[in-house]
C-alpha cells in the first residue's frame, strides 16, 4: 500500500506504507463470544465419564472446532477467562498458530468486557433474591406467631399460611402466564 506525499520533491514517489494493526476477523470474534460459556474442563480430552454424564444427566462437553486455528483461539479465550495456570501455554500456542499480540489483546479485551458486564448484574440479583427471601421468611414467621394463639396450634397456623402462600403464588404466576399467551 502506498500513499502520495504532496510535500515531497517528487509527489508521485511512493512512501512507506503505515503498518496496519491486525484485527480479529468476524469468525474469530464469534468463536471468542461462543467460548464465554465453555467450562475449563471442555479443553481436556474426552473420557468414559463424559459419556456417562451425557447419558445420565444430558451434560455434554462442547465439541472441538474443526479448524485447528480457531480451536487454539477458543482454548486461549477459555483459559484466559478462567484465569487458569496454563494461560501462558495457550498464549504461546495462539502465537504459534499465527495470531498477533494485538489480536490476543483484542481477545482479552472481549473476555474482560464480558466479565465486567455480567458480574454486577449477577451480584445484584443474588443480593435482591436473598433480601426478598429474608423478607418473606420474616412475614411468614410473624404471621405464624400472630395466628398460633388464635388457633391454639403453631402447626395449624403454619398450614394455613402455607396454603395461602401457595395459592397466592399460583394466582400470581397464572396472571403472568396468561398475559404472555395473549400477547403471542
pLDDT tens string, the chain, 184 residues long: the values are 555 556 656 555 555 554 556 788 888 888 888 888 777 777 776 666 667 767 777 666 667 777 888 888 888 988 888 888 888 898 999 899 988 888 888 888 888 876 655 555 555 677 788 888 888 888 888 888 888 888 888 888 888 888 888 888 777 766 544 444 545 4
Quick one: 25 and 89 in the same domain? yes
- pLDDT value for 96: 92
Domain hosting 154: range is 128-183
At which of 106, 127, 148 does a domain end? 127
- pLDDT value for 164: 86
Quick one: 142 and 167 in the same domain? yes
Tell me the pTM: 0.49
Quick one: 120 and 137 in the same domain? no
Quick one: 25 and 58 in the same domain? yes
Q: Which three cell numbers stand for residue 71?
A: 480451536
- Contacts of residue 143, Cβ cutoff 8 Å, sequence gap at least 6: 157, 161
CB 144 within 8 A of CB 161: yes
- pLDDT value for 37: 79
Number of domains the chain contains: 2
Tallying the residues shown for the chain, one arrives at 184
Handedness of CA 75, 79, 80, 86 (dihedral sign): negative
Cα–Cα dist 101/119, whole Å: 27
- pLDDT value for 129: 82
Quick one: 108 and 47 in the same domain? yes
- Contacts of residue 65, Cβ cutoff 8 Å, sequence gap at least 6: 31, 71, 74
4: helix, strand or coil: strand
Amino acid at each position: 500500500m502506498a500513499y502520495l506525499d504532496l510535500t515531497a520533491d517528487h509527489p508521485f514517489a511512493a512512501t512507506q506504507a503505515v503498518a496496519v494493526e491486525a484485527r480479529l476477523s468476524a469468525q474469530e470474534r464469534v468463536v471468542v463470544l461462543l467460548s464465554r460459556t465453555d467450562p475449563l474442563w471442555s479443553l481436556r480430552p474426552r473420557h468414559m465419564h463424559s459419556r456417562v454424564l451425557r447419558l445420565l444427566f444430558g451434560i455434554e462437553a462442547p465439541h472441538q472446532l474443526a479448524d485447528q486455528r480457531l480451536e487454539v483461539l477458543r482454548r486461549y479465550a477459555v483459559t484466559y477467562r478462567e484465569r487458569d495456570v496454563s494461560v501462558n501455554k495457550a498464549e504461546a500456542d495462539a502465537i504459534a498458530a499465527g495470531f498477533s499480540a494485538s489480536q490476543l489483546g483484542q481477545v482479552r479485551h472481549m473476555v474482560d468486557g464480558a466479565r465486567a458486564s455480567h458480574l454486577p448484574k449477577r451480584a445484584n440479583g443474588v443480593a435482591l433474591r436473598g433480601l426478598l427471601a429474608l423478607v418473606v421468611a420474616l412475614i411468614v414467621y410473624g404471621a405464624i406467631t400472630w395466628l398460633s394463639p388464635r388457633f391454639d396450634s403453631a402447626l395449624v397456623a403454619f398450614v394455613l399460611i402455607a396454603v395461602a402462600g401457595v395459592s397466592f403464588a399460583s394466582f400470581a404466576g397464572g396472571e403472568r402466564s396468561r398475559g404472555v399467551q395473549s400477547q403471542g
